[in-house]
Structure 1
Amino acid sequence: MRFARYALSSLLVLVLIGSAFVASKREALHIAAASVSQSLCAAAFVSQVDPDRVFAQEQRPLLGSIAWAASYTVDRARQNVRSRVLGLFQARSEYRAGLGCTLVFGDDPAPKAVAVDVHSVPDTFGPQVVTPVDPALRAALELAFAEPDPAHPRLTKAVVVLHDGHLIAERYAPGYGPQTPIWGHSITKSVMQALIGILVRQGQLHPDQAAPIAAWASPTDPRHAITVDQLLRMDSGLPFDETEGPVNPATHMWFREADTAAYAARMPLAHAPGTAWGYSNLSYALLSKLVGEASGGTAADAEKFVRDELFAPLGMNHSVIETDVSGSLLGSGFMYGSARDFARFGQLYLDDGVVDGKRILPEGWATYAHSQTLDTGYGAGFWTNLVNQGSVPVWDAPWGMPQLPKDMFYARGAFGQYVIIVPSEHLVVVRMGLSVQGGSTGIGDATARIIAALHRTGSAALAIR
């Protein structure tokens, strides 16, 4: 009897400890389940790569000590993914053709499927992978795919190199290719900068105007005078929202809110507008709302605007920006595109917003994109190479890449996504991967090798297809 009472007491203590743990980690566990569903839905139905491999390479490291408690089901007939953590915290993500995957909360019905007309044009780069014949250029690609540190795997998935607008080199990991959409993470912010530029070109917005956010309409609201420019530059005064750990305003917005822009609009200021820089997914959720309102207000309207005004003119045939349940674009970080598509996007900025003789962005918009914000290494939707000392606040990460020319600027996303633009070298380099476990991706050094190789050849290196 004494042993039974002792065992029962011990079990009760464990249950209480477990309950306390679950209660204290409730938000993190909800976020974990939603992250698994959203990522693996896109892997299965947008990228069409192996979701089990993506779970192993991306989600399992992110889940850390609770990875054992996570499970998921890929329903290919219904085109959705359901996930569970500890069997208690559940999430579901639904795929809709042309719209990507959408996180659905609780037992709510999936958003209504809508017809999104996608007109593809032939890939001007051709159907085959472009392999360089120049040994130095091949060595640069080898460096980009190298795995020098087993503790911090790079897991590079794609590298694409454009020089003078020509595709001169590319390489892909097994299971990936020129038509594989890959999660761009915060490269999406730079694409949103282009969409705002299109609205500026059309006369619907101006960078210096107060952002027309309905929740800030009152002149007494301290956020009333925040400008479109300040949202783009991340010096709006909204808080630095992507901090270490699984729980922060950004992850709450992405994985716990049905209307991401409404959540962002409720956020109080941390600083007076224009006085401090802080990395801001919230700002780009609000910019996404402006794009949606200007294009019609529904998810399908927004996707049509993006395709008609940006993706189709550039030949970005394998790209989509996902939306939340309310229909707002997830412009802070949920675009999928092929590495070639992202390279075409970089080329647009190299060419001052013009493609095939047609002006997509306002004249000078590309220069504006990498003009310095306060004393930081950030511009207006792009990172710059203007600051090579100090580090990004909170993250303790370098601002730029000192081994590359000073005029270089770039779009950057979590886990090693890069669109590097070097005007002085007429060069665009894209790197995509799953570098979830930290460490360097090596893309700065690889890009320096590419530049050195091009200097030796005197022109774009010849390639074989």
Structure 2
Amino acid sequence: MTSLRPWLLIAATLPLAGCGALRGAAQVATGLASHQICSAAFVSRIDPEIFRREAVDPDLGPAHWLMRTEVDREGQSVSASLAGLATTRAVYRGPSGCLVLHGAPPPVPPEPIPAPRPRALTQAPASAAVEEALDRAFAEPAKPWRRTKAVVILRDGQIVGERYAPGYRPDTAITGWSATKSVTNALVGVLVQQGKLSADGPAPVAAWKGDSRRAISVDNLLRMTSGLALGDSLNASLKSAFDPSAVMLFAVRDMAGFAEARALVGAPGTSWTYADASPTITSRIIRDQAGGTEAAMQAFAHRELFDRLGMEHPTLELDATGTPLGASHMWASARDWARLGQLYLDDGVVDGERILPAGWADDAARPTPGAEQVGYGAGFWTNRGPGPGARRRIALGMPADAYFARGHQGQYVVIVPSARLVVVRLGITPAAGNDIEGVARLVAEAIVAVRPPE
């Protein structure tokens, strides 16, 4: 889950004497606005003005009154400016989604991404109990806004419940925010299964070969226990000009290069800090193993993961170097997100073929030492631990064996092995907790609603 509050970052710079830090924080804010609105308009193809009002303005806080955005339909780009402090422009690049420009845009890869082979999900009529659960999931309280946009419920790979908000459809690509970290986990798993990468050995990062950072493993990166000074993506800091991971996402051309250069401040594996820069480094490793170019990266992701799952509308966005924004920028339909959950429910097997190592899914749900407070595994949040986060979710109705992809503003892909269930809830819920109470209730009600008669 990414907590991006650029207005807090801007506020943090006000006491500083120089205006350079303030301009830098403003660039983070305009980068966020231009990128997200661009992706909404040209990837998701939803109304960008409504999206800005619902999804972007809450992140900007009071600064949204000063933010000016302009959608160029013909040029397929979005510009954002903040009070004369910073202006950024994001451009749509077809299969690679949107990109905030830092200098000249890279060329669009000439190789088209092949259309996925048809793989329709079967659908059973929703029971009255499922319909009632969906009614409650979409019910809008007075405040804070819930704004559920899509729900898909799978039982053993079959859709048993599905609903969309006005303006959204089964083919609408919806942002996953930090649910993208679970996609990164899957891409690493594919490489491990193919024998091209080791999760436990030293991470193959050239910049680390000559110093103590060479001890960092891929598993450390997946679990965010690298020991690098990567910032804190859960909580924007008021003690610094801006968070390193936020700067990386919206104000840097080579995101992984920026993250790889961070200093080691603790022994790998000894402490946990949730930071978007960690899966970004992992994404560079994936890109390099896939062939080192944007075209090779996209071909690998589609050929080895998306197409095998039957995903029809995935857009994994990349930076200017061809590195996926593997911490935060995957857009896909609710059914596509459900297919990812089903992969983990089936322990990495698709159509009888193993594409993730045996036990990889269970390991993703294994609690990471140091992350007990919230309950985090490896690219997934988990209830399989004694911490207060897991205990609260279980008390709310989410089973103890459940684990889930989770993203900013309420994106959830919940996997419940004991019930053979995947529950996807996507929305725009900027309030604290991102409607975890409603999601836990939805999961609990879905389990009861689809339970076979005794």
- TM-score, normalized by length of structure 2? 0.90
> CA shift at 1:399, angstroms?
7.2
C-alpha distance after superposition, 1:322-377 (max 9, x if no partner) = 01112111101111110100000100111111111121111221111112221522
Tell me the percent identity.
43
What residue ranges of structure 1 are gaps of 5+ in the alignment? Answer: 1-16, 460-465
CA distance in 1, matches of 2:417, 2:234: 32
Secondary structure class of the residue paired with 2:409: coil
CA distance in 1, matches of 2:352, 2:119: 18
CA distance in 2, matches of 1:414, 1:449: 23
CA distance in 2, matches of 1:163, 1:372: 25
CA distance in 2, matches of 1:290, 1:433: 31
| Alpha-carbon distance change, 86 to 167 in structure 1, aligned in 2, over 3 angstroms | same
| Alpha-carbon distance change, 402 to 235 in structure 1, aligned in 2, over 3 angstroms | farther
| Alpha-carbon distance change, 380 to 18 in structure 1, aligned in 2, over 3 angstroms | closer
CA distance in 2, matches of 1:164, 1:371: 22
Higher mean C-alpha displacement, 110-119 vs 224-233: 110-119
| Alpha-carbon distance change, 448 to 198 in structure 1, aligned in 2, over 3 angstroms | same
1:138 and 2:134 equivalent? no
1:255 and 2:247 equivalent? no
1:281 aligned to which of 269, 276, 279:
276
| Alpha-carbon distance change, 343 to 133 in structure 1, aligned in 2, over 3 angstroms | closer
CA contact (8 A) 2:413 2:424 kept: yes
Across the aligned residues of Structure 1 and Structure 2, the Cα RMSD in angstroms comes to 2.3
CA distance in 2, matches of 1:400, 1:241: 26
2:311 aligned to which of 310, 313, 316:
316
Per the alignment, residue 154 of structure 2 pairs with: 162
| Alpha-carbon distance change, 131 to 60 in structure 1, aligned in 2, over 3 angstroms | farther
1:336 aligned to which of 328, 331, 343:
331
1:110 and 2:75 equivalent? no
CA distance in 1, matches of 2:383, 2:134: 22
> CA shift at 1:404, angstroms?
1.9
| Structure number with larger C-alpha Rg | 1
Matching of residues 10-409 of structure 1 within 5 Å: 25-105=22-102, 108-115=103-110, 116-125=112-121, 132-150=125-143, 152-218=144-210, 221-239=211-229, 240-245=231-236, 247-374=242-369, 376=372, 377-387=375-385, 389-391=387-389, 403-409=397-403
CA distance in 1, matches of 2:205, 2:419: 40
Higher mean C-alpha displacement, 341-350 vs 262-271: 262-271
CA contact (8 A) 1:242 1:251 kept: yes
C-alpha distance after superposition, 1:106-149 (max 9, x if no partner) = xx2222122332313335137xxx68542211111112112224
Secondary structure class of the residue paired with 1:215: helix
CA distance in 2, matches of 1:162, 1:407: 17
CA distance in 1, matches of 2:290, 2:202: 19
For these two proteins, the number of residue pairs brought into alignment is 430
> CA shift at 1:202, angstroms?
1.1
1:436 and 2:430 equivalent? yes
C-alpha distance after superposition, 1:77-115 (max 9, x if no partner) = 11111111113411111111111111102xx22221223
CA distance in 1, matches of 2:35, 2:66: 17
C-alpha distance after superposition, 1:274-312 (max 9, x if no partner) = 111111312101110011001111112111100000000
- TM-score, normalized by length of structure 1? 0.88
Secondary structure class of the residue paired with 1:186: helix
CA contact (8 A) 2:26 2:85 kept: no
Per the alignment, residue 7 of structure 1 pairs with: none
Secondary structure class of the residue paired with 1:188: helix
CA distance in 1, matches of 2:398, 2:62: 38
Higher mean C-alpha displacement, 326-335 vs 369-378: 369-378
Higher mean C-alpha displacement, 426-435 vs 233-242: 233-242
